A and B are shown apart, each in its own frame.
Chain A
Amino acid sequence: MKHVKSALLAGSVAVAACGSAWAGEFDGIELKMLGIGDTSVTRLAPIVDEFEELTGAKVQIDMFPYPGLIDKIVIEASANRPSYQLMWVDSPWVGVLGESGALEDLTDWVIRDAEELHLDDIIPIQLQENTWQGRLIAFPAAGMIWHVNYRKDLFGHPDEQAAFKDRYGYDLAPAKTWQQYIDIAEFFTRKAGETLAGQTLEKDFYGNAQAYSRVAGAITHDFFPIMRSFGGQYWDDETGLCAIDREAGVKAAEVMKRLVPFNPPDYLGLMWDIRTGYMERGEVAQSGYWSVRTVRLTNPEEAVLPTIGEAGYQPSPTEDGGPMETMTGALSFGINSKASDREKEAAWEFIKWGTSRDMMRRFANEGSGVSQFHKSILSDPELQERYPYYQVLLETQDTAKRRIFHPFYADVEEVFGVELNKYVAGETDSAQEALTNGCTKINTRLKVFPLEMRLRWIADPKADIFN
């Protein structure tokens, strides 16, 4: 049955693609993608022959390491007769790539093909995430949402519920406020030999796993969603300078520091999957992260948790429990602005094919961890049963905010990665001091640019495709 389903889906993808590109329309065209070993690419790479059969265009996907990839894209887009026509794009790169003119403006194509793209079915923020100055320069291949994963089995255990209510005076439930989140983290932090859900612990158990590492600015990925949840902004609207050191930023940094005692002892080195590994092994009670890895919590081949407990999913907390201004992000495909017109047309056909709703549904059915961005897929009851976190992704999109997309995003991640890491390590006395240090460094770099340019860099006009 599964195979029949896959075959039907593959067929529907083929039919959909045939609707837009005649068979053999791009005979002789060879496209190369500057890609990455990300699920948004690795699921597509083995089936690019299907695209060649449909359109005649041959596609080769090369995979490179994430560190250094943006530099390679910029260099590649600086040459005439480029080697790569297709680019994999992480949404914070939009400012750098938009300002350098590396990527083709897709706006007019998207408007022209809106019906074919099922544009109304795509979550708007995932499109906005790929805009620079209102123009769409990349198209989403995976949409990310920052959310919290927790041990549903522990939260539902009667002994734990009773003990929590005795200690904190309210019911144990997934945190809606940061104070609740800290309480829960404290409550579940236990030493080996203590009891957890009726079992004696063989090793320490932690209330939370947070990225505190300064490497590649990992700590900022946790800090910014918290800052945004307090209503914080990256930039000052009037000067275009750093605004991270304001009240919301300070509160966010203090939340992170208060959570330190409830993290694993190697917290200063926690980053990316080293951190998510704690949740995947079921060794922590709760942890926030991008939705791109959440699928692992449903797969016993990739995580221990499904075999010893159950994961629950919820939006990130806020200061007052109101709707979270969730952080979003997009992993996308763009077209090299230096490619020839014919290559650009073929590349656009490939993007439409590889990110189409039918293709995304096919990936979901095949068990791929591609983080979805079509409303109809995220709301599909059958898929929601299989991927319970889809509901959270769907609910939080309406209040989601863009990630940082400033051309100086890498400087921000680097500078604040160090300053925040020093603060949580106790090397800086206060959150205010750490953030002010960070803003001072960033502003020193920004002030050499005219005000008009700085304001343009932070502008986020509604994408022209929505007008």
Chain B
Amino acid sequence: MNKPSTRQTILVYLLLAIVLIVFLTPIYIIASSSVKPTPIMFQKPPAMIFSPTWDHYIALFSDRPFARFIGNSLIVALGSTAFSLTFGSLAAYAISRIKHRRMGDVAFWILSMRMFPPIAVVVPYYIIFKTVGLLDTPLALIIIYSTVNIPLTTWLMKGFFDEVPTALEEAAAVDGHGLLSAFWHVTLPLAAPGLAVSAVFCFIFSWNEFIFALMLTGSNAQTATVAVMSFWSSDAVQWGRIMAGSLIIVIPGVIFVLTCQRWLVRGLTLGSVK
């Protein structure tokens, strides 16, 4: 392969720079607005040089128990992710391995759980959780998010399990492994990239979800996304606090994705080439 010319290299870097600008500009706006004094928040052209203030961050934590709301988000997102991976991967394994003419219908039925618009089911959920005393608890959100995440995990993981040859499980059986043991020690590790991909999608959905979190929580289980939006009131949208909160709630997601990254790339491309 020929070495790229200087011109080609410059072009590539130029394109990369453009892509970076496009993707990083919103982050820059969020970050700079989070330390921008309120009176110049929407100044035109935007103030690029100013004395930064930490007032928005201080207010974020003093006006509301924001640390607790972040904690709620973490509990809900991690709980739903763990729940969904457990049950979704087991369901996917069953669908992948059981040969039955109606299995396709079962798989589609599971997927159809994702097709409900949230607003259509929010009142029934409210009544159910109110009745069983789970309203305004993280568990309620974990259950709801899992109903959305399990179908996703099931479908993603089915593809990965299909790629794992059944001969490996048969060999494990010869070595004395039962069905679950073979699944745990042989099949699941080979589908680890799929777990990573599913985990990322489940976490991101649960972390960012707004409608259910707004309708089904109060101050006990309020999540960070709702708390940030609560700075939108009738007389003002406190953009400084919203930006500060937004920047903070981006961080756990980034950490989670980076943690999963080493499995993620392989997971996203696995099965793309036969």
Contacts and interface: CB of A to CB of B under 8 A. Distances in A.
Interface of A: 32, 36-39, 42, 60, 62-68, 71-72, 75, 78-79, 81, 83-84, 90, 203, 264, 266, 272-274, 277-278, 280-281, 283, 290, 292-293, 302-304, 331, 369
Given A62-B222, A65-B226, A75-B122, A90 B39 contact: no
Nearest to A331: B234
Interface in B115-158: 122-123, 126-127, 130, 135-136
B219 A304 contact: no
B49 to A, nearest CB: 14
Nearest to B238: A37
Contact of A75 (B41, B63, B126, B239): B126
Contacts of A273: 42, 236-237, 239
Contacts of A283: 44
B57 interface: no
B230 A36 contact: yes
Contacts of B237: 272-273
A42 B63 contact: yes
Contacts of A65: 214, 226, 229-233
Interface in B220-246: 222, 226, 229-239
B38 interface: yes
A420 B211 CA distance: 29
20 contacts: A37-B63, A37-B231, A37-B232, A42-B63, A62-B218, A63-B64, A64-B214, A65-B229, A66-B233, A67-B232, A79-B130, A90-B234, A273-B236, A274-B42, A281-B42, A281-B43, A283-B44, A290-B235, A293-B235, A331-B235
A37 B230 contact: yes
Contacts of A302: 38-39
Contacts of B231: 37, 65
B172 to A, nearest CB: 51
Contacts of B235: 38-39, 290, 292-293, 331, 369
Contacts of B16: none
B265 interface: no
A75, A84, A264, A274: most-surrounded residue (chain B CB, <10 A): A75
A39 B42 CA distance: 21
A304 B43 CA distance: 11
Nearest to B236: A273
A266 B44 contact: yes
Contacts of B82: none
Contact of A36 (B44, B215, B234): B234
Contacts of A38: 233-235
A79 B214 CA distance: 17
Contacts of A32: 218
Contact of A277 (B42, B123, B219, B222): B42
Contacts of B126: 75, 79
Contacts of B230: 36-37, 63-65
Contacts of B45: 203
Contacts of A72: 214-215
A75 B123 contact: yes
Nearest to B222: A62
Contacts of A304: 39-40
A68 B236 contact: no
Contacts of B39: 280-281, 302-304
Given A36-B234, A65-B230, 18 more contacts: A36-B230, A38-B233, A39-B235, A60-B219, A62-B219, A64-B226, A65-B232, A68-B215, A75-B123, A84-B218, A203-B45, A273-B237, A274-B42, A277-B42, A281-B42, A292-B234, A293-B235, A293-B236
Nearest to B225: A65
Contacts of B238: 37
Nearest to A292: B235
A386 B236 CA distance: 22
A283 B230 CA distance: 28
Interface string B193-222: 000000000000000000100110011001
Nearest to B130: A79
A266 B44 CA distance: 10
A283 B45 CA distance: 12
Nearest to B127: A79
A56 B253 CA distance: 43
A301 to B, nearest CB: 8
B48 to A, nearest CB: 14
B55 to A, nearest CB: 9
A75 B236 contact: no
Contacts of A62: 218-219, 222
B41, B135, B235: most-surrounded residue (chain A CB, <10 A): B235
Nearest to B136: A83
A169 B250 CA distance: 58
Interface in B24-63: 38-45, 63
A360 to B, nearest CB: 16
B10 to A, nearest CB: 35
Nearest to A302: B38
Interface in B80-131: 122-123, 126-127, 130
Contact of B214 (A60, A68, A264, A278): A68
B233 A71 contact: no
Interface string B54-81: 0000000001100000000000000000
B233 A36 contact: yes
A60 B64 CA distance: 13
A36 B42 CA distance: 23
Contacts of B236: 272-273, 293
A193 B218 CA distance: 53
A75 B126 CA distance: 8
B50 to A, nearest CB: 12
Top 4 A-B pairs ranked by shortest CB distance? A65-B229, A292-B235, A38-B233, A37-B233
A66, A203, A369: most-surrounded residue (chain B CB, <10 A): A66
